[in-house]
Amino acid sequence: FAEGMKEVGLKKMTLTVEGTSDSTTSKSTLDTIQQTWEQLPGLTVKEKFVPFKQRLQDAANGNFQVILTDWIADYAEATTFLGLFTSDSPNNDGKWVNKEYDQAINAAESKDALNSKARIADEVKAEKILYQNSAVNPVYWVNSPVLTNPKVKGILNFSSGAGSYYMHAYISKK
* Ramachandran area for residue 141 (φ above 0: left; ψ -120 to 50: alpha; else beta): beta
Q: Are 70 and 55 in contact (CB under 8 A)?
A: no
Q: Flag whether pLDDT at 5 surpasses 80.
A: yes
The identity of residue 91, as a single letter, is: N
Q: What is the DSSP string of 50-110?
A: E-HHHHHHHHHHT--SEE------SSSSTHHHHGGGSTT-TT-TT----HHHHHHHHHHHT
- Alpha-carbon span 111 to 119, nearest angstrom: 9
The residue ranking higher by pLDDT, 122 or 76, is: 122
Which pLDDT value is given to residue 121? 98
pLDDT in tens, 46-72: 999 999 999 999 999 999 999 998 887
Residues with Cβ within 8 Å of residue 124, at least 6 apart in sequence: none
Query: What letter would DSSP give residue 6?
Result: H
Q: Flag whether pLDDT at 3 surpasses 80.
A: yes
Bridge partner list, 24: none
Q: Are 79 and 116 in contact (CB under 8 A)?
A: no
pLDDT-derived band at 38, boundaries 50, 70, 90: very high
Full-model pTM: 0.76
Q: Percent of the chain beyond pLDDT 70?
A: 98
pLDDT-derived band at 163, boundaries 50, 70, 90: confident
Q: Flag whether pLDDT at 148 surpasses 90.
A: no
